[in-house]
Every structure is written in structure tokens, then in C-alpha cells.
Amino acid sequence: MSILIDKNTKVLVQGITGNIGTTQTRYMLKEGTNIVAGVTPGKGGLKVEDVPVFDTVGEAVNNFPIDVSLLFVPARVAKDSVLEAIDAGIKTVVLITEHTPVHDVMEMKAYALQKNAILIGPTTPGIITPDECKIGILPTNMFCPGPVGIVSRSGTLAYEVAANLCAIGIGQSSVVGMGADRVAGTNLVDILKLFNQDKDTKVVVIVGEVGGTQEEDAAEFIREEMSKPVVAYIAGTSVPPGKRMGHAGAIIEGGKGSAKSKIESLLAADVKIAGRLYEIPSLVKELIS
Amino acid sequence: MRLHEYEAKEIFSKYGIPTAQGGLAKTPEEAQEIAKNLAKPVVVKSQVLVGGRGKAGGIRMVENLNEVGAIAEEVLKAEIKGYKPEGVLVSEKVNIKKEIYLGITIDRTSGIPIIVICSEGGVEIEKVAEHSPEKIFKFEVVDPQRDIYAYQLISMVKKIGLTGKTLTETSNIMAKLYKVFREYDGLIAEINPLVLTEEGKVLCVDAVLEIDDSALFRHPELNKRKLDAMSERDKRLMKKGATFVKLNGNIGLICSGAGLAMATMDMISDYPALSPANFLETGGGITSDLMVDCMELVLEQPKLEAIFINLYGGINPIHEGAKGVAKVIRERKLNIPIVAKALGNRQEETWKTLEEVGVHIIKESETQKAVEFLAKLLGVKAK
């Protein structure tokens, strides 16, 4: 079991003919992801690695059953492409694209909510259920199957946490990058809810970072409803306020979003805090055994 | 992109928000000229992008118009918290009866705009939130796809006790501010204070507008202004999505991923003798050329004693990036210690390229191991 995706998931790639779209499609196919179709307006009729390309998402869904759409599209058309996927009835949309205008993200998020769809991203590395399905850009050799669910605001940190767990023989049920922008399509709490319901996830690891109040909100949910043990790490304890650390979301503004406030809220919800990245594996190991 | 007060006021004014009269001066003579035309007492305001101008002497009242030039000269010369002003705004002095606060920002968790109205203006809203939170009213714009209606705004503004003409005028201004926020891809749009004058007018006296950098393609004029102020290298980095922040320590950092970079900074900071010289996140567009730019930027840091590279090859072709690093090391005959951890797609090629030019490669997944190696190399201990 897993969350969001498994070996039966059928995937559409929007922006499949672009450089990144094609490269990543090749990686995913090699690793066993079931990519059934691609979309690039104006490129209908082509094939990428034997995957048929359509001009619109509507045409793709008329020809194939599709569970998830994965987007490698330029930021300026991200909103249009996400709304197109949702309008075509696709219920899970993964937006890899970086630097999407936040006003567009607000609109997509509102639309997804209205249509009961899940939008993961933007600026997400995607989702992986190790040995079953990868939807995104995560390097597969960092992951292995097992009982730990990981949700991360940062892409590359998710890779490192998974790899460090694998190094001591602990695998993952699913790993979700929730995206690093100011506004995320799906919030941390929503991902925790999914892990809480997944019977094969025994422990959940939150990889958070400074900025926003996602971790504080998650702490409230964990205290009230979470039935599984949680380990959390917050990146950026040494970050000075007012400086934006790469991610649109990683900034301590007006006293809000500091690592200290997040760690305190999570501790109050009985979450095990890893002060540094390398402390995560031993904390997880204790909870599993 | 944070705009200067005078730029924000120009935009607000274009949308029909009444603002205090005045203009931008870059010389004392221009300041004197603007004051002469206004023919009333003025305020000379330093145009810098840092908070707390007033306390730092960047805002000066001038009653005697003959003194405007001399005072403008002082303000133009004075740095505020290390920043040189772009000019001074010479603005009519208004007779304040009441000051209020109007602002719009984004609630990051719900992903919707939040309108904030406060019956106390002219001070930092965070300060008011601490001492009298009852004066602040927040409203969620439930549907960001839709405009707000006049009746909604009137009900909001009524909460701070305004009545009659002031109520409708302030509601109108709020509607215009929301339009600016939406059409300019605002992260923050703020009028602080909005002044109700003794003469019964409602005027925007100070303005803040911060625009989403990711949306600048929709605002070519502002984008040009931003680009004009950047170096060629900074432009190349921005185009590739890389972010650099100067931090003044002794360890240069190049990381693929902001979270990874922050986690690495945290670990380096555990050694009292080490601190990051910079934050540098490559984004997902690594090429050989980008890494050349990254290396050169890091090498410019004045206290640099070593470079730490931490990369993952997911979307990033790290084997290409390694070529750029190697090129800089060869061409500059560098002998500064460089430690690199690089994992993911095509990691073996990456290691080979870097090892050939003397980079210390850590092949384990734990960044901590690489930081420990760096510390040992430099002969320093953790606290």
C-alpha cells in the first residue's frame, strides 16, 4: 500500500516534448512508471519513447484512462495547463514547474478544491512509491520500499532523508514533495491525513523548513488526530530573518515562520524532533522497533 | 520585487487612489523646485527599501521652504542601515486628524488573499498586533478568482468605526488597492497610513507594494527596471533559477535545492570556527556554464577558506555541472580545499570529473559525513 500512487497508476505527461519532459519521461519509463500518453499543444500525433502525444488533455483522456497528470510546462502557462487537466476530469495533478506566479497558484488551488482534485506542487519533485511508481523527477536510486511515509517541503532534502533511511535498511511507503512555493497546492496537513489512513505506513517523517505556518498547522492536526508516530526536521535554524532562502516560501517574515516556533509547536504535539538531518534515521528506527 | 514608496504611489495614483502631492528628487535643486511648486510645508523622505526610515533620520519635516534644498542634501547623503537612498520624495505635509491602516497580503496556508484593516495607522502593523490586537480586523477573500464587491468592503471598513463620506471613500480606496494587488501580482499592497485630514480629505501618505518576482514577465516595465539594476552574471543566474544570498562567513556553499542548502548551513554552523560565506541554490537548471558562474561568485567572497558543494541529480544533470566546476579549478589553478557530495543520476561520471581536479568526494548520502570531513580538513572542532 501507499498514498496517491501505486503500480496501477496511469500517468499523463503534459509538456512531454520539451527537453526536461522527454528526459524525465525516459527515466520514468525505464523505472516502470506506466506513462500512457503525453500532451503538447501543436505536437499531436508525435511519439516520445513510444508514448503517443496529443494536442489537448481532453483528447488524451478520450483515448486512455488516466489517474494522474504530471506537468513539465513553462511557468507562464502552468495555470492554464493545470486547469485544463482538472477540467478534463483528472483528479491528481503534479506540477513540477518552478517560479509559477503565486496569484496563479492561488487560482489553481481554489479550482482544485472546488473540483475535488489534488494539486501537488508547484516546485515539487513529485511523488514516489518505491519499486511501484515514480511520478516526477526524484532520483530513484535514493529510495527503497518500506514502512516510512515522508512528506517534504524541499525536494533534495527528501532524497537525502530517504537515502539515509535506506542506508540503515529502512524503506518508504511513499514520499511526497509538497512543493516549496509561498502557497502549496496541497497542504502538509492533507498529506498527513493520507499517511494516517494508509495501513502500510507505520511512521511519518516531516521534512519542513522555515517560512509559513504549515508545520504549526500540522502540529495541531497531529495532536488532535494523528494515530501514527511522527518525526520532524526543520531546515533553516541558522537562517537570519528577512532573507529569502531560494524557495519562494523560505523566509521568516514579521516574526512568523521561524524554526523555533515550528519546533515548539511540533514538540507540544509529541513529535520527535531531529535537530539535525542526520538524527532522523535513529529516531525513526526507535519508533519502528 | 519591493517598489520604492514613490513608485508604489505612482501606481496607486494611476488607479485613482488619492495620494499626498509631491515628487521624486535626485538633487537638492530638484527638491527645492518641487517644494516651491507645492508652496506649503513639506516632508522630505529618503527612498530606501528598508523599514524604520523615520527613526534613522530618513524622514524630515520642513516648515520653512527655503531650507528644503539643504535638508534634502542631508537626506540624500545619509545611508539608512547601510543603504544609499535612490532619491528623496518631497511631499506635501498633511494635517492629520486620524491615521488608519489598509493592507492586503496572502495567507500562505489557505492560499487566499487577506485584507487587513486597522484603526491605528502610521506605525508598524506587527507592533499594533502585539499591544492592541482588538484594533485589527482581517478578512479572507474566499474566492481569489473573483473581485470583491462594494458592500463587502463597506462592511469591512465599518468595523473600524468610520461613518458617512469617510466610510465610502475609504471603502473605494480599499477596492482600488485590491485591484492593484491583483493586477500587479502583489505579495503585499499596503497604505500606512491612510490619513483622514483636518480638511476632511482621505489621503494615502505612505505606500508599500511588493511584487511577485515570478510574475514579472507580466509587468515588462518593472522587469526592465529590475534587470537594469543587475549585473550580467546575476541575470544569468536568475534566468536559470539560481539564488544567491551573501552571508559573510568562510565556507562557500553551492547546493542544488534550497532545503538542502539550509540544512547544510545549519550543520556548518555547528562548528564555531565555520560559518557559511553564502547561500547559493542552483535551482533545477544546472549546466556546465551555470556552475562556472556559481564557482566564480563563491570565489569572490572575501573570507573564503573552503568550498562545499552538495548536489543531487534528479532533474539536474550533475555530470554537466561537474565539468563547469572542473573548468574553473583548472583555469584558475585553484588550491582552496573543495569538498563535494554529489548523488543521483550519473553520479559516477560526476565523481570522476571532480576527482580528476582534486576535489574531495564524499560518496555517502549523509551530508553530515561530508561536513565532518570538511571540518577535519580545516582542523576545526564542533561545539
Which domains, ranges and CATH numbers included, belong to chain B?
Answer: 1-19+95-229 (3.30.470.20), 21-93 (3.30.1490.20), 232-378 (3.40.50.261)
Instruction: Spell out, as residue ranges, where chain A has pLDDT lower than 50.
Output: none
Active site residue B178: no
Condensed to tens digits (0 to 9), the pLDDT of residues B170-205 reads 999 999 999 999 999 999 999 999 999 999 999 999
Distance CA B252, CA B123 (A): 39
Q: In whole angstroms, what is the distance from residue B308 CA to residue B79 CA?
A: 34
Residue type at B222 in one-letter notation: L
Determine, for residues A159 and B344 on separate chains, whether the beta-carbon distance falls below 8 Å. yes
| pLDDT interval class at B382 (50, 70, 90) | confident
Q: What b/e sequence results for B340-377 when a residue is b if at least 16 CB atoms lie within 10 Å of its CB, and e otherwise? A: bbbbbbebebbbebbeeeebbbbeebbbbebbbbbbee
Q: How many H helices and E strands in chain A?
A: 9, 14
Res. B158: pLDDT tops 90: yes
Give percent above pLDDT 70 in chain B: 100
Count of residues for chain A? 289
Closest CA relative to residue B263, chosen from B187, B163, B365? B365
Residue entry with cell 496569484: A103
Burial class (CB in 10 A: 0-12, 13-18, 19+), A171: middle
* B108, B247, B365 member nearest A182 (Cβ): B108
Q: Mean pLDDT, to the nearest integer, of B339-362?
A: 94
* pLDDT tens readout for residues A134-184: 999 999 999 999 999 999 999 989 999 999 999 999 999 999 999 989 999
Quick check: B145 pLDDT over 90? no
The pTM of the full predicted model, rounded to 2 decimals, is 0.92
Scan for cell 522587469, then name that residue.
Answer: B223
For residue range B298-324, list pLDDT tens digits in order.
999 999 999 999 999 888 899 999 999
Contact A165, A284 (CB under 8 A): yes
- Residues of A that are catalytic: 247
pLDDT at residue A112 in the model? 97
Interface predicted TM-score (ipTM) of this complex, two decimals:
0.91
Q: Which pLDDT score, from 0 to 100, does residue A85 have?
A: 98
Name residue B340's beta-bridge partners. Answer: B309, B361
- A98 is written with which cell numbers? 518552478
Q: Mutate which of A238, A244, A276, A278 to disrupt the B interface (most B C-beta within 10 Å)?
A: A238
Residue B360: which of B300, B283, B306 has the closest Cα?
Answer: B306
List Cβ neighbours of B111 (8 Å cut-off, separation of 6 or more).
A105, A106, A109, A110, A183, A184, B144
pLDDT digits (tens, 9 = 90+) for B24-41: 999 999 999 999 999 999
Q: What is the pLDDT of residue A245?
A: 82
CB proximity A241 to B under 8 Å = no
Residue B164 has pLDDT above 90, yes or no: yes
State residue A254's pLDDT score.
67
Helix A214-224 to helix A259-268 angle (10° resolution) is 0
Rounded-to-integer distance, Cα B77 and Cα B57, Å? 11
What structural domains and CATH numbers belong to chain A?
10-120 (3.40.50.720), 138-288 (3.40.50.261)
Looking at residue B142, its amino acid is V
Q: Is B144's pLDDT higher than 80?
A: no
Q: Is B236 or A7 the better-scoring residue by pLDDT? A: A7
Nearest to B109 among A209, A214, A240 (CB): A214
pLDDT of residue B281: 93
Considering chain B, what is the average pLDDT of its residues? 92
Cα distance from B71 to chain A (closest Cα, Å)? 31
